[in-house]
Amino acid sequence: MLSKNKTGWLLLSPTILILVLAGLVPFIYVLYVGFFQWNPLAVDPSLQFEGFASNYRRLIFDEVFLESIWRSIKFSVVTLTIELSLGFILALSLLSSFPLKSFFRSVHTLPLVIAPIVVGSIFKLFTVQGLGPLPHILKDYFGYTLNYGLNADQAFWMIVIMDVWHWTPFVTLTLLAGLSALPQDPYESAKIDGANNFQIFTYITIPMMVPVLIVVIFIRLMDSLKIVDEVWMLTGGGPGYATRFTGIHIWKEVFEKRYYGLGSAMSILYLYITIVICWVLYSVMVARGKNED
């Protein structure tokens, strides 16, 4: 029996080795560096200790950093709300049959496989001043000036629109998969009892869809909290700080200003916030699973 377990560990070992070396070691390293001041371009390019948790104490009053976190959370909540409502409507509409349905669904799947950086490029080409058709169309037909290179609000909402374009299909397809797998019995009995469509939706569909909804929220939240590529391509985090999400902020502090110590502390705080949100959702998921058993 012991040798059998040995074989098991042997099969697992390469996976564990890679995950330790490239997942756990960097984590411990960043945790360690986060307690020091370290700027390789400074006069003294070594690790300086300036009191316990000096970086963290600085970060608590660092408005730019805190605002970037707030911005990321706001962005995640806004996109999640839009994508969920839109995705639910689209998934419900895909349950009925209509002409060209499979064609429409294939096109809808398309954005999912496109790289974020390419999505950023597509939107840049489409919306940039002087080249893209979108500013022209808005100007000519609606008298609206779109120049997100100067207007902070427009830049933020442009990113939201891009994210909705990119990820609503994921929500639609996941919810559709969930909807198709629902048992039919409750619907039949509800119809016999004379429930209308709205009642069926709120009292049967939504409650039965909760597990799938949690999975979707979980995955979309994780992804939108770590958004970098598309934003980097489209606005570069600007204008000003308008689209500087936490990921971009860390990148700029670490690789432009070379604040290694402070950047590490930011990474840890950012990771911590993500894990907390993650853990809360995971507990909800597990608690629900136990209730159902």
Partner 1 sequence: MKTKKTFSKIGTTFLWSILTIITLFPIYWMVLVSTRTPVELFGKPDLSPTFFQKVHWKNFTKPFLDGIYADYLFNSIIVATSNAALVTILALMATYALSRFKLPGSESIFFWTMTNRMAPPAAFLLPLFLLFSTVFKFGDFTLFDTKIGLILLYCVFNLPFAIWLLKGIIDGIPKELDEAMIVDGANLFTIFRKLIIPLAAPGIAVTSLLSFLFAWNEYLLASTLTSVYARTIPTGLSEFVTTTGTNWGTMAAVALVSMLPALLFLFAVQKHIVAGLTFGAVKG
Q: Is residue 73 near partner 1 by the rule CB under 8 A?
A: no
Write the single-letter amino acid at 134.
Answer: L
38/156 with CB nearer partner 1: 38
Q: Is residue 122 near partner 1 by the rule CB under 8 A?
A: yes
Nearest residue to 245 (alpha-carbon basis) of 30, 63, 70 = 70
Packing angle of the helix pair 116-127, 133-142 (nearest 10 deg): 40
- The runs of H, that is alpha helices, within the chain are 2-19, 25-33, 54-60, 63-95, 101-113, 116-127, 133-142, 152-180, 185-192, 197-200, 206-225, 229-234, 246-251, 260-292
Residues 138-167 that bind partner 1 (CB under 8 A): 165
27/70 with CB nearer partner 1: 27
Stretch that binds partner 1, among 44-52, 127-135, 143-151, 191-199 (CB under 8 A): 127-135
**For partner 1, which residue of 2, 14, 41, 196 counts as binding (CB under 8 A)?**
14
18/150 with CB nearer partner 1: 18
Q: Give the contacts of 273 (CB within 8 A, at least 6 positions apart).
A: 69, 225
Cα maximum dimension of the chain: 80
Residues 229-288 that bind partner 1 (CB under 8 A): 229, 232-233, 236, 246-248, 250-251, 254-255, 260, 263-264, 267-268, 270-271, 274-275, 278
CB of 124 to partner 1, least distance (A): 8
Query: What is the pattern of x (binds partner 1, CB under 8 A) and - over residues 33-72?
Result: x---------------------------------------
Using CA atoms, how far residue 195 sits from 6, 95, 184, 187, 204, in Å, is: 59, 19, 15, 9, 10
4/192 with CB nearer partner 1: 4
CB of 216 to partner 1, least distance (A): 8
- CA Rg, the chain, in Å? 24
CB of 64 to partner 1, least distance (A): 15
Q: Is residue 209 near partner 1 by the rule CB under 8 A?
A: no
Q: Is residue 30 near partner 1 by the rule CB under 8 A?
A: yes
**For partner 1, which residue of 41, 43, 113, 287 counts as binding (CB under 8 A)?**
113
**For partner 1, which residue of 69, 80, 173, 242 counts as binding (CB under 8 A)?**
173
Q: Coil, helix or strand for 209?
A: helix
- Residue pair 187/200 in contact by the 8 Å Cβ criterion: yes
Cα–Cα distance, 81 to 75 (Å, whole number): 10
CB of 119 to partner 1, least distance (A): 9
Q: Is residue 109 near partner 1 by the rule CB under 8 A?
A: yes
Cα–Cα distance, 147 to 20 (Å, whole number): 46
Residues 177-196 that bind partner 1 (CB under 8 A): 177-178, 181
- Residue pair 95/173 in contact by the 8 Å Cβ criterion: no
